[in-house]
Structure 1
């Protein structure tokens, strides 16, 4: 009887926290706070996370329970919900943080939480796939508007939670690499990141198709700004991978040489913009609204049904969940940027990745 009561009390607490107001932070705040990792600052940061993380995690747990089309009951989604409830329980049962020893223990605990949530994206992708299998195939992707809006909120929130935990954990590194404050590189060269991401994408293309188009990059390698290298690499990699695939498939059986992909890095007052242009035949206008949805992929779906063993967390395939573009756009928007795709059917596609360089924009809290 007591366990049933305890269970009800726990769910009540989750709902109570799910209704609380979230507090956003900016890139600049993360930089300023992390640049002086004194004991006092670390304790203040841990106290903030101790209060903030349960609110963010509870919100998602509540939402995971009330999804349309029965998505909440799909086995993969139930698993994700349980991860969120376990993390909420861990955070709420951690005592108040009073000194640096408490802070160190708390940091170890949130590190574990971050690992627990490693497979959330493939698990949710699997849940959506389980949903698609059970529904009428004639349903149009527009009918799933509610699902798309939920997934946008859910993944944006996940980016924020991982950013806050990751930044706090990384700031503890006793020997940080030069110009690094936690996750943030204070002198990041977008041209260099574009070069590295392009090489990685070309390698995947070569592995998949046996050949890959050339990539030409235009930008000043010595120009730098403060940004997250992992986020930027992931976004550029995704855009270049899509372009390589489009060009490769268009010219595979042709005797013409595949035209190169062009990457331009522009340094503006407000934004750093990276443009990825290809001549891969473009996307029909009717298809453009679909490219930022989660239920649409032109490629075969390689989602792994085994989610317990950490498999699938970082496996990169040439075309995956159909999630690359919508999630890249969320990463761009997280720090005040955006991602736009402009296409000419019969010719090619231009992707514009805008990155806000002011660092003042607050997290967009869903």
Structure 2
């Protein structure tokens, strides 16, 4: 793919991109999303807001993708991602004003197509980062290329927000949704039940990779529920449990001892819901703790990337994106992810989840 820059596009497209990139992004209250009633009028207002807001968010990322350090901008996978963002920007800007329910329905279909277009962004970015690692050497930590890590945090936080807004609007049109659902948000999400499903999925992947899987014990009240996005919570727990499964198996696979179980503990606090994932996988050296948040670091060999993000969870490890992106998911909703480790014993991950109140989107 030729390195076509924004200035190489038709003058009106380039000017529009630059102008939109100078506009301020408008954050959305997550409580507003949860309390949103999908009436015909509200869906029309939502579509009109997204018609104006999404091009601004996309333009911010396009201009940033064009000015990355260490030659990252010129990597073919990064050029591909930038092209997807430009294509989506042009589609949105060429869509006429939304005035009635018919316009809104057509716009919703466009949003669905854009969401599908961007489905492979994570795996494609992984290819670009892998090429960067090959260029600058394997012994790279977070502090060695801070500009890259800061960009990746901004980029993926923005992606979470864009996909949340699009997904929420599109999901409002799904017929016969359970009464506890408002788009993607469940007002009665059970962290214990979601943890069970995520653990089962992680164990399937582990068994496929190693032929075995440690036990996982889940502690908590299955009747406890709170408002959250189940798909986001599933993703975070899946990544954390997957890491623990791998650490335990790698440590015990050459011994005669049975691998100790992993513990998932769900606690309902006054401010936060906290989920703790504990393993006895040997822990992480203190010097390596900062590296676990690096997009350029993984303790496993990097697997081949198929170009399809839906294939990514089939590998146990190697991309280096699981933990940092999980932390961004938690922070998007006002929570956080912390990891504490005892070298020679094991690791505890604390996933702090804020109930969806008046938390504003953390726009990059």
Q: What's the TM-score, normalizing by structure 1?
A: 0.95
Q: 1:239 — aligned with what?
A: 240
Determine the C-alpha separation between the residues in 1 that align with 2:88 and 2:270: 41
Work out whether residues 168 and 182 of structure 1, in 8 Å CA contact, stay in contact via their aligned partners in 2: yes
Tell me: CA distance 1:163–1:281, structure 2 relative to 1, closer, same or farther (3 Å): same
Q: 1:301 — aligned with what?
A: 302
Q: 1:121-177, CA deviations, whole angstroms, 9 ceiling, x for partnerless residues? A: 111110111112122445554221100000000000000000000000000112113
8, 13, 18: which is aligned to 1:10?
A: 13
Q: 1:321 — aligned with what?
A: 319
Determine the C-alpha separation between the residues in 2 that align with 1:140 and 1:234: 25
Determine the C-alpha separation between the residues in 1 that align with 2:24 and 2:205: 43
Q: 1:72-95, CA deviations, whole angstroms, 9 ceiling, x for partnerless residues? A: 000000010000000000011111
Work out whether residues 125 and 303 of structure 1, in 8 Å CA contact, stay in contact via their aligned partners in 2: no
Determine the C-alpha separation between the residues in 2 that align with 1:133 and 1:350: 32
Provide the secondary structure at the position in 2 that maps to 1:88: helix
Q: 1:353 — aligned with what?
A: 351
Determine the C-alpha separation between the residues in 2 that align with 1:6 and 1:293: 34
Provide the secondary structure at the position in 2 that maps to 1:319: coil
* Range that drifts further, 69-78 or 134-143: 134-143
Gaps of at least 5 residues in structure 2 are: 1-6
Provide the secondary structure at the position in 2 that maps to 1:68: coil
Tell me: CA distance 1:75–1:178, structure 2 relative to 1, closer, same or farther (3 Å): same
Work out whether residues 197 and 236 of structure 1, in 8 Å CA contact, stay in contact via their aligned partners in 2: yes
Work out whether residues 142 and 290 of structure 2, in 8 Å CA contact, stay in contact via their aligned partners in 1: no
Following TM superposition, by how much is the alpha carbon of 1:103 offset from its aligned partner in structure 2, in angstroms? 0.5
Work out whether residues 303 and 321 of structure 1, in 8 Å CA contact, stay in contact via their aligned partners in 2: no
Provide the secondary structure at the position in 2 that maps to 1:272: strand
Paired residue total: 357
Determine the C-alpha separation between the residues in 2 that align with 1:213 and 1:140: 30
Provide the secondary structure at the position in 2 that maps to 1:63: helix
Q: 1:61-117, CA deviations, whole angstroms, 9 ceiling, x for partnerless residues? A: 000000000100000000100000000000111111111111111100111111110
Q: 1:245-287, CA deviations, whole angstroms, 9 ceiling, x for partnerless residues? A: 1011111111122111111100011100000000100000000
Q: Residues 110-125 of structure 1 correspond to what in structure 2 (within 5 A)?
A: 110-125=111-126
Q: 2:158 — aligned with what?
A: 157
Q: 2:41 — aligned with what?
A: 40
The 4+ residue runs of structure 1 with deviation greater than 6 A are none
* Range that drifts further, 177-186 or 68-77: 177-186
Q: 1:199-237, CA deviations, whole angstroms, 9 ceiling, x for partnerless residues? A: 111121112112111111110000000100100001001
* Range that drifts further, 75-84 or 355-364: 355-364
Q: Residues 199-214 of structure 1 correspond to what in structure 2 (within 5 A)?
A: 199-214=200-215
Q: 2:4 — aligned with what?
A: none
Work out whether residues 303 and 320 of structure 1, in 8 Å CA contact, stay in contact via their aligned partners in 2: no
Gaps of at least 5 residues in structure 1 are: none
